[in-house]
């Protein structure tokens, strides 16, 4: 898909209690309410008549505020061009579309404007736009109670839909790569006992519990762990350094009886382990960059610094 550009951006609510949610997956329409406003008046842009009718409606319902906002929202929807983008939220995802330049129409369900293409819930690269993965500056609009509001964070929305990161995010990614590489270099300064303690910290801070003391009464195994939710048992072998032969030796010894998986953790990998792929379904090799990422994500970088200072 070509890169997206737009002039203005709007959030559009999917009717009362999400009554028009199905339109996102099965139609090419952006629906609105305003049942008290004649479609002909909208099409003919009789804005003074429309404003009077909205004010009257609010007075009849005893509402002292909101009429002007309601009128402006309707006018913004009607005057939007095919260069303006509309977003909404459904099923944990952000949807977006562009309207075509036709006027407001009416069918048996509601007033609507046709969209240029169907609503989309992915960026231009096909990546799903999950609400829990996008900026709160954008996702906060799903709490807006009225029909429509303008979105101020246009730059953030533009980057989101085009699958781009902000300059500061790109800098952070580069810094994280640098930190990952530094940690891998630091592994060579760890004592073998430090490697065991660090591995224990990694698994415990990931939510697992240790059942055995490190190396206690277990030939070939350094840690015995349990997943507190599933109650599955795991074994862990920790190596300060190892090669493919070492890995395969332990993998062959692992019977799997009573245990779901063996983790073979290596801090200083031999070149033979680089890009190594094995066929042991119940054994996982954990080393290099993956270990460093876990240390960063779990906040254990300072632990490494203290140990090698």
For 58-92, the pLDDT digits (tens) are 998 888 788 999 999 999 999 999 999 999 999 99
Helix, coil or strand: residue 290:
helix
Per the confidence metrics, is the pTM higher than 0.85? no
Sequence ranges of the chain with CATH classification 3.40.1350.10: 168-308
Residues 140, 141, 145, 151, CA torsion sign: positive
Q: What is the CATH architecture assignment of 168-308?
A: 3-Layer(aba) Sandwich (3.40)
Mean pLDDT for all residues in the chain: 92
| Cα separation, 166 vs 160, whole angstroms | 9
For residue 214, is pLDDT > 60?
no
Phi then psi for 262, rounded to 5 degrees? -110, 130
d(CA 41, CA 78): 11
Confidence bin at 172 (pLDDT 50/70/90): very high
Helix (H) or strand (E) holding 10: strand 9-12
Across-strand partners of 11? 87, 149
């Amino acid at each position: 898909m070509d890169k997206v550009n737009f002039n203005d951006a709007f959030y559009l609510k999917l009717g009362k209690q999400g009554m028009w949610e199905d339109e996102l997956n099965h139609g090419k329409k952006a629906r609105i309410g305003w049942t008290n406003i004649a479609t002909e008046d909208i099409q003919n842009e009789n804005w003074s008549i429309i404003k009077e009718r909205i004010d009257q409606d609010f007075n009849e319902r005893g509402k002292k505020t909101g009429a002007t906002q309601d009128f402006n929202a309707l006018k913004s929807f009607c005057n939007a061009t095919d260069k303006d983008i509309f977003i909404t939220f459904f099923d944990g995802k952000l949807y977006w579309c562009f309207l075509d330049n036709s006027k407001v129409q009416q069918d048996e369900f509601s007033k609507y404007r046709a969209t240029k293409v169907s609503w989309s819930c992915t960026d231009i690269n096909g990546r799903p736009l999950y609400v829990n993965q996008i900026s709160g500056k954008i996702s906060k609009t799903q709490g807006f109670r009225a029909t429509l509001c303008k979105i101020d964070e246009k730059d953030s929305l533009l980057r989101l839909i085009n699958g781009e990161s902000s300059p500061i995010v790109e800098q952070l990614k580069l810094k994280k790569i640098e930190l990952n590489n530094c940690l891998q270099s630091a592994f060579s300064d760890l004592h073998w006992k430090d490697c065991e303690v660090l591995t224990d910290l990694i698994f415990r801070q990931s939510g697992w519990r240790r059942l055995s003391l490190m190396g206690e009464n277990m030939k070939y195994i350094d840690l015995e762990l349990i997943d507190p939710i599933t109650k599955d048992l795991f074994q862990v072998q920790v190596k300060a350094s190892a090669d493919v032969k070492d890995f395969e030796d332990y993998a062959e010894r692992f019977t799997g009886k009573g245990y779901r998986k063996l983790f073979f953790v290596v801090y200083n990998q031999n070149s033979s382990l680089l890009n190594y792929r094995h066929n042991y379904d119940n054994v996982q090799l954990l080393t290099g960059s993956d270990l460093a990422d876990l240390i960063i994500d779990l906040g254990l970088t300072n632990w490494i610094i203290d140990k090698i200072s």
